[in-house]
Amino acid sequence: MLLAAPLYAGALSRAEAIVQCKRGPSVLQPYRDLRKLLRKGSATSDQASWIYHGAPFLAFACYLTVSAIVPIITDEPLPLAFLADLIGGAFVLSLASFAVSLAALDTASSLGGLGSTRTTWLGSFAEPALILVFFTVGALSRSDNPYLENHAIASSGAADVLPTHVLGAVAFFMLVLAETGRIPIDNPSGTIEISMIEESRVLEYSGREYTLVKWGSWMKLFLLS
């Protein structure tokens, strides 16, 4: 999970550049970015408290926890699978987003506050819909356990073409765009104030703390995808 997430983000960035008729960065560029950021020092706002410093670690831990609960790479139960179902995993992801939003407000930055309010506003629409999608899959598989849901859908050929399942998949794809700040909801590489959402929340971070923030965002993208 730790190693695959940056590679996936790099492949997406390269694909976006190709669609725009550009050469684009290498798929290994995220690894180079992580190495560069780990060597840099951090500049911190004089208004920041322990919330600002602790949020990247909490968010990163949340993404690692979800990857140890929900089947992402393997369809076999993991050692921590008993801790939560899909709804519990959604709450852990929400905790990570809440921590980053709170840290953005903690710096007393106008852009941080702007990004936090925009993210919270989008989340008020996206997260209830996300839980509804989980309930839809649970109704089809008659379980809220991610492993039982996975095997129930995979073993039933008819489940893949049911209108309920197809519409749920389309809704989930739209939610992934919103939750991960991708085009057309947001542009992760954009720095225009009027359209910044996710990037404005983490604008005050630098150095090693920013490394955790970026790596965590790539893990979230990989998890939801």
**154-199: pLDDT as tens digits:** 777 777 778 888 888 898 898 888 888 777 777 766 666 666 777 7
* Residues sharing a CB contact under 8 Å with residue 9, sequence separation 6 or more, in sequence order: 30, 218, 221, 222
Q: How high is the pLDDT of residue 191?
A: 65
Max CA distance (Å), the chain: 58
Q: How high is the pLDDT of residue 93?
A: 86
Burial class (CB in 10 A: 0-12, 13-18, 19+), 66: buried
Question: What is the number of alpha carbons within 13 Å of residue 113 lying toward its C-beta?
Answer: 5
Cα-trace Rg, the chain: 18
User: What is the spatial distance between Cα 40 and Cα 210, in angstroms, rounded to a whole number?
Assistant: 10
Other Cβ atoms closer than 10 A to 184: 7
* Residues sharing a CB contact under 8 Å with residue 32, sequence separation 6 or more, in sequence order: none
SS3 151: helix
Q: How high is the pLDDT of residue 184?
A: 76
Q: Tens digit of pLDDT for each residue in 211-221?
A: 999 999 899 88
pTM: 0.84
- Of 109, 107, 134, nearest to 51 by C-alpha is 107
* Residues sharing a CB contact under 8 Å with residue 62, sequence separation 6 or more, in sequence order: 92, 93, 95, 96, 99
CB 100 within 8 A of CB 201: yes
Q: pLDDT tens track of the chain, all 225 residues?
A: 889 999 999 998 888 888 888 888 888 999 999 999 888 888 888 888 899 889 999 999 999 988 888 777 777 777 777 777 777 888 888 899 899 989 888 888 888 888 888 888 888 888 888 888 888 888 877 777 777 777 777 777 777 778 888 888 898 898 888 888 777 777 766 666 666 777 778 888 888 888 999 999 899 889 888
Q: How high is the pLDDT of residue 192?
A: 67
